[in-house]
Amino acid sequence: MTSPCEVHIFCDNGNKARAIAVKILEMAKGLEKKYNFYNHNSFLSQINQRKVDKLDPQTKDLLTRAKLFHKKTNGIFDITMGTLTTSRKLNNVTEIEKATAELLPFVGVEHFKIRRDKISFDNPHTLIDLGGFVKEFAVDMAVKIIKKEKIASALVNFGGDIYVLGSKPNGDSFLIGIKNPLNPSQYITHVKLKNQALTTSASYERSHKIEDKIYSHIIHFKELQSKIISTTVISSSVVESGVFSTALMIEPKLSTPLQKILIDEKLEMV
């Protein structure tokens, strides 16, 4: 999942806890292999290369949900932003901007359709990148595995995509820290969680500089001009929290009933 992942299972049977952890590991590795955007042999890459058009139920569900979230975020969350990935590999801003302009017409979930169990595209250029969407989905899947085993207390954290199941064995809520986006080794605040999901998107994550321009790990046709440098969203599922924490980085005024924490460049919560 390209980031540290951890699972905390509170159980009085060590063998059972280890067996659950193994199931979660196998599930996560399976998803990573299946939907790796950069692996030419992955199932997702086969779709992007137009070598496969038949969808299994899991993939159909993921793509259908992604389209739904595209609508819920007014088009901000878009899994076809992967179409622009190749432009970011160029060596100067002029080339990047030129390639981006050429590829932009092919960005948008309207460029692929799902009918029954098949996917079709209206052009050869649109690429789907499930990216963090799958990592967040993996956390939700891990929680399902844990619940199925009748575990009442656990914490799953895949690279900051977190779900807290129940409370600590002593009855206390889990305390989750929100990092200082200007100094990730520090925490700026914390929240108490029980049976909730939390994800954070921040400007300190995986950005890179080419010439005098900084490109965020969040690829979007809109420039990230907001003074918001960190967004945290709490909801009932990690997928939903992840979608909206990313979308709010691009458009902080996006309306959502979900609990959110936005931090601006002055480290003030708004």
| Per-residue pLDDT tens digits for 111-131 | 999 999 999 999 999 999 998
Give the chain's domain count: 1
C-alpha distance from residue 213 to each of 91, 93, 216, 260 (Å): 12, 7, 10, 29
Residue 221 lies in a domain: yes
Residue 231 lies in a domain: yes
For residue 163, which of 192, 143, 147 has the smallest C-alpha distance?
A: 143
Residue 195 lies in a domain: yes
Residue 187 lies in a domain: yes
pLDDT category at 217 given cuts 50, 70, 90 is very low
Range of the domain at 222: 173-270
In the chain, what percentage of residues exceed pLDDT 90?
Answer: 80
Report d(CA 203, CA 218) in Å as an integer. 9
| Per-residue pLDDT tens digits for 14-59 | 999 999 999 999 999 999 999 999 999 999 999 999 999 999 999 9
Q: Which two tokens stand for residue 117?
A: 């169990």
**pLDDT in the model for residue 252:** 93
**pLDDT in the model for residue 99:** 85
Residue 28 lies in a domain: no
The CATH code of the domain that includes 252 is 3.10.520.10
Residue 142 lies in a domain: no
pTM of the model: 0.90
Residue 178 lies in a domain: yes
Residue 132 lies in a domain: no
